[in-house]
Structure 1
């Protein structure tokens, strides 16, 4: 049986955080897998907006699970994730799990993550994230929130920390942390994965370790999709620069130019009632965003 630390970074989302914590507590913990589970919540808000929520939940579920709340006001995605890693390592848990504060988990979520990790003798395992909208959304927008899925136990070449389990021994052996250069740009998890893979870490897909992401109204729109595509494309190029992957940089440059040209041509479908009618706009955005990574002029979405 294994000891597990579930790490939750949070920032000004107390109601979503409450939903997440309750979903974890009410999920199944297979006793053949889990010996002890700790929830570690790092509040990245100097105003401690999560403290009241966690305190109330600790009192309510004191006999069900251990919860530790920390206020960590040093703003930045990498900063808060590294703080969670430090707290987890202090507890000497076998596995470290990351899940985001705007999500909630399925009943067998943790069991499925653990099973994928140990059955493949992996260093990390990652599961699907399904978007759930909190208000009615046009099909022209909702279709862009679908994430890639893979066959069960597929070996992966990238990660995201919105549904991830890490073997503690692998983390210590490889000595990889989240890079502070991505504090405000995002993609700190992507670069973390790049570094782990370079050091030999193996990542597998946990097909049934499902979490659900709540998408609020202020994200379910074209403006947000444009900003996200622009930012992610830029950080991808920036990572290739950091890693001196010159062939991939050249390849990405050509792809960016093609995206811009093809995207302009595809604007002709914009007035039509076609499901992917925003394809052209988003490809132009992706192409332009990719070019920003060359000049280190990244969009700081989280500042």
Structure 2
């Protein structure tokens, strides 16, 4: 009997959704699995429904649409956990494109060495207008974070997990992080805390087209700062020692110094500044600072002003 596998796309007013879904319909179904696709629309209005309906009319794979409004990405992700009955659930972002063999690689590495979760890399595809240093450094690419040869958390832009794993039992995405981001970091950190193991599938590559509004140093600074906030908040929940505060502050100073020393190398200088912003965000998270809003109707409205 085949295992059930569903690919979930959480979407919010994203024009690239049609391209994402088209790539999913061309996926090779891994041997031993039954494959389906689930779209969770997080917009207040069912704006993605016509797009999904048009594509589903000619789809060669089961494609479902569910409306989970509120402009909170955690509501959408939890909606996927509720509405999907598949044992294996994969997530892909609504601005990414999958090659036909994406799931073949992820499923091959699922369960390897007892893994409950498998992450794949996301490569950034830049437009011609992106700065040269940004294209060389691939600063928008997504990869796992290893600590002592162990992946300590994950992300939802390229992941497959086994919902029958005890480590995932009762795990939900934190609603309080649904408009700031970091809900996936917290989710998979909990999986690891529950004894779960995360593996990496280097050949399961997805591609993300980087839009013009993200090809800016300001956007990257906000992103790194918010990532640091999430990390700091998670650490603070387990009790942060005074020594950790000192170490984190020291990292900020170190990054500032490296930025000055690398002033003639835009890529190295900017990466040092972004690393410093990450550690400043961590200090904010340790102190309980309010996390930056990155999603939702209010954020979208401010961005358009």
* Range into which the TM-score falls when normalised by the shorter chain: 0.7 to 0.9
Whether 2:4 is the aligned partner of 1:3: answer yes
- Alignment partner for residue 77 of structure 2, among 71, 75, 81? 81
TM-score of the pair, normalised by structure 2: 0.87
**Residue 274 of structure 1: how far off its partner (Å):** 4.0
Q: What is the SS of the residue equivalent to 1:246?
A: coil
**Pairs aligned (count):** 290
How far apart, in 1, do the equivalents of 2:198 and 2:272 lie? 33
Q: What residue number does 2:21 align with?
A: 21
Q: What residue number does 1:291 align with?
A: 283
- Alignment partner for residue 57 of structure 1, among 55, 58, 78? 55
Q: What residue number does 1:47 align with?
A: 45
**Residue 198 of structure 1: how far off its partner (Å):** 1.4
Whether 2:126 is the aligned partner of 1:136: answer no
Whether 2:300 is the aligned partner of 1:302: answer no
Q: What residue number does 1:193 align with?
A: 188
Q: Say if 1:185 and 1:235, in contact at 8 Å, map to a contact too.
A: no
How far apart, in 2, do the equivalents of 1:85 and 1:168 lie? 9
**Residue 258 of structure 1: how far off its partner (Å):** 2.1
Shift in alpha-carbon separation, 1:127–1:225, aligned structure 2, 3 A:
same
User: Could you say what the CA RMSD is over the residues aligned between the two structures, in angstroms?
Assistant: 2.3
How far apart, in 2, do the equivalents of 1:218 and 1:265 lie? 29
Shift in alpha-carbon separation, 1:149–1:157, aligned structure 2, 3 A:
closer
1:129-208 to 2 correspondence within 5 Å?
129-142=122-135, 143=137, 144-148=139-143, 156-170=151-165, 174-208=169-203
What whole-Å deviation, never above 9, does each CA across 1:95-142 have from its counterpart, x for those lacking one? 111111011112210111111113434211111111112343112223
Whether 2:96 is the aligned partner of 1:103: answer yes
Structure 2 unaligned segments of length 5 or more: list them. 297-305
Shift in alpha-carbon separation, 1:224–1:255, aligned structure 2, 3 A:
farther
- Alignment partner for residue 120 of structure 1, among 95, 113, 117? 113
- Alignment partner for residue 253 of structure 2, among 251, 257, 261? 261
Shift in alpha-carbon separation, 1:147–1:39, aligned structure 2, 3 A:
closer
